[in-house]
Structure 1
Amino acid sequence: MAGVGFRLNKMFHKGGVSTDLLAIAYSIMVSSGPWIITTISLWIILTVFKTNDIYFNVAIVYSFIVSIIISGLFIMFESRRISDLIFSKQYKKILPEVMGMLVCSSLILILIMIVFFAFNHHELWFVASFSYLTLSLLTLWIMSIASLSSDSVNWYIMAFLIMGFFSILFSNIFGRDNNSIGYILGYALGVNIGIFLHYLIALIYFGTDFDVSFEWIGETKKYWQNILIGFTYYLALWIDDFVTWYSPQFGEIPLKGFHFSFIYDNPMFIAYLTIIPTSTMFILVLETRFYKTYKLFYDSLREGYNYEEIEIRKNSMLKELKYDVSLVVRVQLIITLSLFLLNEINLIPFVSESLKPILRIGLIGAMLNSFYLMIMLLLLYFDFRNTALYLNISVFLINLILSIIFTYKLGYYALGASYSIAFTIGTFVGYKLLLSKVNNIIQLEYFRQKLAVEPGFYLEFNDIKKLMEEQK
């Protein structure tokens, strides 16, 4: 995110209203651009062009979910690995290692597809087109991380815009009534144009080495938590949907093996869209305000400042952290409360009276999810990987257990409550842990460092204690 932070700071330092608005727009596109572009392109295909093909709808929803969850095994680790390679200026290793991750993730996806369709038989054209779309989206998520890691942030955004345009175009050109494969392959073709553009960005910036490298596997021992952090977060995010889909009361099966819950999915999707402001604000404050105090503190550690100066910078960083988190929370609270009121007076489009109770709970849950994600990323900012992983697992288990209880025992008016409760607990516990760790960051950072003396030249405290007892 260094390139993003540099551009945002440059925009804000100009001090004009227009440049401030441009910085906000820039932050929106970086933090939520792919999501917004993808959502708008799908909305145009499904609503404007009135594409009601059930095969296409099923393929789109499940390909996104499956590809995102599988990519969760790689993208957190990929981000960290690329950061390390950039820091050590080993740029030519980046693209070959990303290709190696693509090979491994694709093999996992193919294995899952083989097992799934072995138990859920469908026509060959649907199996092939659905698998191709899912594989394309998985490749897009992983390749776009490499693209964003370059300084070509404008081209990163442009790649998604071009992808969205061609997905709409090709899906409309090739898709016809009773020609579901045309819709699916047309959309997948647009996605592949986006993949090519992201690949081109990474290729130009990181070098023209076309090898496939698995050297990154050796680093998984060091950063194994990153592999599970993304995966467990996405599971925690989706598990309540899965429980609702497979419940006999609220689930529907439009195609064999594919479950939905239209009464739950529509309001929850609208709720998810409301966290875009939090993502935007988080990028703004992280890269323009908080990073400055963060950098000053770590500079003081690296340059060997005296303890009092380090303590002053730590307290300044902690104060800035609390202020920035509260700022993001206040902005999101205003937006969520406004939408909450609009929902109560029936002014939100596409939300019928029967969906209002679910959206009511979903808005609260989405808001807490955005706060939780912000805290988890801050924990990773300080490299507290174990804490982030344990939090994700806890939120996942809470959401899973409560989803089963609420869906099967309490019914309709409790739908979405497990999601809200799980992320509420995760947010408050995570924030307390974050503040505690940052408050003790000086000691923690010194404990992380390896001793600069060789074994044999020092004694552990327990060894000294034992020696003194023997002398008595």
Structure 2
Amino acid sequence: MAGIGFTLRRLTERDDLSGLAGAYAHAALISSGPWLFTIFALTGVNVLLGNFVPQDAVEIFRIVVVYNFGFSLVVAGPITMVATRYLADLIYGKDVSEAPGMMLGALTLQFAIQGAFGVPYYLFVVDMDLATRLLSIANFFAVGGIWVVAIFLSALKSYRTIAATFGIGMLLAFVLAVAFANTVGAAGILGGFTVGLLVIFFALIARVLAEYPYRVKTPFGFLKYFARYWELALAGGFYNAAIWIDKWIMWFAPERRTIAGAMISYPTYDSAMFLAYLSILPGLAIFLISIETRFFERYLRFYRDIQGHGSWSTIERNHRSIIDVLVESLRNVTVLQTVVCLLMVLLAASILDVTRSDFAQIGIFRFGCLGALFHALTLFCGIVLSYFDLRKHLMVVYGVFLVTTGLFAWISREAGFAWYGYGYFLAALVTFLVAYVLAARAVGRLPYLTFVANNQGLR
């Protein structure tokens, strides 16, 4: 994300508050656009339509959105990780002519996998009317498409276009969902929301094609990267599954609900965790603008001086510079996330009241915020590992995240309602400790990794 990060950093250097606020707002949207869309949609529909639309219609909409975002994200994990690496290599090689084809190939692969289980599920398993079934399928594909196209957002520098796309799509989704809710019910809410998603999806595709105006060629050329970078594919799958595995486990809690005949969930847990995830946004925004850009500058200097046969003292000085900026960055992110976390914990009752949530969720929400604190710090360490191409380390970190989240969520579910939320918090804490140890050790041994461990000429 360093490309657009530099663009947004220039926006913060304007001598007015609007530039600073605009930069961080754009950064949050670019780094977490689809997640923001999901959470705001679920919260907004609950707040705006809760008293005016039959509850069963709102519940069907909510469960379809949760299922579609969750399962499409897990499918997208390996695809987007490998495709992102492929795109990064194209940009590094200064030949992005394959980018449009790669995007279409990745979309085809995403849709093929989703369609293999999503279409039969909605057509033959759930109990819905035909219109809602078809709209659920359309929504499923739209969400999956956005996950894939979103990998190009960090490479695009037209942040205003990206922000306008998400803004218009979200506004249209809300307006249409509210307009059709009373007349068409669940199908109307879902249809309006899906139209907004499709506007975002096709607008982003148009922007990517405008940025890379080349003929489509070798759309599946990136597939060879699955064999070459299988660790990245697994890391992507592990991470996205880790985000959702605690929800899947909690869906089998005694308090679970079954909707549309076959769609089980536990709304009390899900919605509390979705709200808690919002606390990650400030950390991601500051990382995109002021941290990754500064680190990226020192990262480039380190390797450019090596390629230019710099002296050992120069290499050591650059190494120390990288360590200094990472320590400072981690400190800043930790302080910011801790403040945001504590504020959300203290204001939990007010937040749940504004979002029309059940006060029984307050404990889950608070532990979700604490877990989100360490989740954000884990992402920080994960990006550092990615920069130094430590794919196996990254795979281990997200593998630990998946296993611990599943294990601790199951333990907390068996322990009873008072323990709900502890699983995610403890898993995020353990994962951060593992990620920090691996990242700190790698950065401390960076010259060795560069000249020996990652040196292809010595293999």
TM-score (ref. length: structure 1): 0.88
Q: For residues 441 and 46 of structure 1, do their structure 2 counterparts lie closer, same or farther at Cα, with a shift above 3 Å needed?
A: same
Letter in 1 for 2:365: L
Question: Judging changes above 3 Å, is the alpha-carbon distance between structure 1 residues 14 and 437 closer, same or farther for their aligned structure 2 residues?
Answer: same
Residue equivalent to 1:335: 340
* Distance of 2:308 and 2:268 partners within structure 1: 58
Residues 83-119 of structure 1: CA deviation (Å, up to 9, x unaligned): 1112223222111111111111111111122554587
Q: Distance in 2 between matches of 1:3 and 1:160?
A: 20
Compute the displacement of 1:297 (Å): 1.4
CA distance in 1: counterparts of 2:16 and 2:360, whole angstroms: 46
Equivalent residues in 2 for 1:22-421, closer than 5 Å: 22-50=22-50, 51=53, 52=55, 53=57, 54-114=59-119, 116=121, 120-123=125-128, 124-177=130-183, 179-210=185-216, 213-247=219-253, 249-343=254-348, 349=354, 350=356, 352-408=358-414, 410-421=415-426
Q: For 2:201, give the aligned amino acid.
A: I
Distance 1:389 1:445, change over 3 A: same
- 1:28 and 1:276 in contact (8 A); partners too: yes
Residue type matched to 1:47 in 2? V
| CA RMSD between the two structures | 2.4
Task: Identify, as 1 or 2, the structure richer in helix.
Answer: 2
Q: Is the 8 A contact 1:358 1:416 kept in 2?
A: yes
Structure 2: distance between partners of 1:17 and 1:180: 42
Report the alpha carbon displacement of residue 347 of structure 1 after superposing the two structures with TM.
8.1
Say if 1:144 and 1:195, in contact at 8 Å, map to a contact too: no
Q: Bigger radius of gyration, 1 or 2? A: 1
Work out the CA distance in 2 between the residues paired with 1:9 and 1:352: 40
Q: Which moved more, 1:167-176 or 1:127-136?
A: 167-176
- The yes-or-no answer on 1:422 pairing with 2:448 is no
Q: Distance in 1 between matches of 2:292 and 2:220?
A: 32
Which has the higher mean CA deviation after the structures are superposed, 44-53 or 189-198? 44-53
Which residue is 2:437 aligned to? 432
Q: Deviations over 1:332-365 (max 9, x none)?
A: 1112112222337998634554222222222211
Contact 1:24 1:284 in 2 (8 A): yes
Partners of 1:8 and 1:288 within 8 A in 2: no
- Following TM superposition, by how much is the alpha carbon of 1:34 offset from its aligned partner in structure 2, in angstroms? 4.3
Structure 1 position 6 matched with structure 2 position 11: no
Query: C-alpha distance in 2, partners of 1:275/1:359?
Result: 13
Q: What SS does the corresponding residue of 1:451 show, helix, strand or coil? A: helix
The structural deviation recorded for 1:42 is 4.4
* Mapped contact 1:236–1:395 kept (Cα < 8 A): yes
> Are the aligned partners of 1:42 and 1:168 in contact in 2 as well (CA < 8 Å)?
no
Residue type of the alignment partner of 1:405: I
Q: In the alignment, which residue of structure 2 is the partner of 1:457?
A: none
Matches of 2:361 and 2:271, distance apart in 1: 8
Residue 441 of structure 1 aligns with an amino acid whose one-letter code is: L
Q: Are the equivalent residues in 1 in contact too, given 2:101–2:216 (CA < 8 A)?
A: yes
Question: What amino acid does structure 2 have at the position aligned with 1:284?
Answer: I
SS in 2 for 1:304: coil
Q: Would the aligned equivalents of 1:147 and 1:199 in 2 still touch at CA under 8 Å?
A: no
Aligned partners of 1:202, 1:313: CA distance in 2, in Å?
Answer: 35
Partner SS for 1:259: strand
427 and 8 in structure 1: CA distance in 2 versus 1, 3 angstrom threshold: same
Deviation at 1:396, TM superposition (A): 1.0
TM-score by length of 2: 0.91
User: How many Å separate the matches in 1 of 2:68 and 2:349?
Assistant: 33
CA distance in 1, matches of 2:124, 2:231: 32
For 1:21 and 1:141, locate their aligned partners in 2 and report how far apart those are by CA, in whole Å. Answer: 26
CA distance in 1, matches of 2:352, 2:195: 37
Query: In structure 2, how many angstroms separate the alpha carbons of the residues matched to 1:425 and 1:251?
Result: 27
Whether the 8 Å contact between 1:27 and 1:284 is mirrored in structure 2 is yes
How many residues get paired? 451
Residue 147 of structure 1 deviates from its aligned partner by: 4.4
Partner amino acid, structure 2, of 1:371? L
Instruction: Tell me by how many angstroms 1:417 deviates.
Output: 0.9
Map Cα deviations across residues 174-199 of structure 1 (whole Å, 9 max, x no partner): 44345432322222222111111111
Deviation (angstroms), 1:45: 3.6
AA matched with 1:129 = L
More divergent stretch after superposition (277-286 vs 2-11): 2-11
SS of aligned partner of 2:258: strand
User: How far apart, in 1, do the equivalents of 2:28 and 2:126 lie?
Assistant: 42
Moved more, 194-203 or 9-18: 9-18
Q: Distance in 1 between matches of 2:252 and 2:182?
A: 31
Output the CA distance in 2 between the equivalents of 1:311 and 1:299: 13
- CA offsets, 1:215-272, max 9 Å, x none? 111222222222222221111111111111122x121112222111122123222211
**Deviating more after overlay: 216-225 vs 23-32:** 23-32
Q: How many angstroms apart in 1 are the aligned matches of 2:109 and 2:25?
A: 36
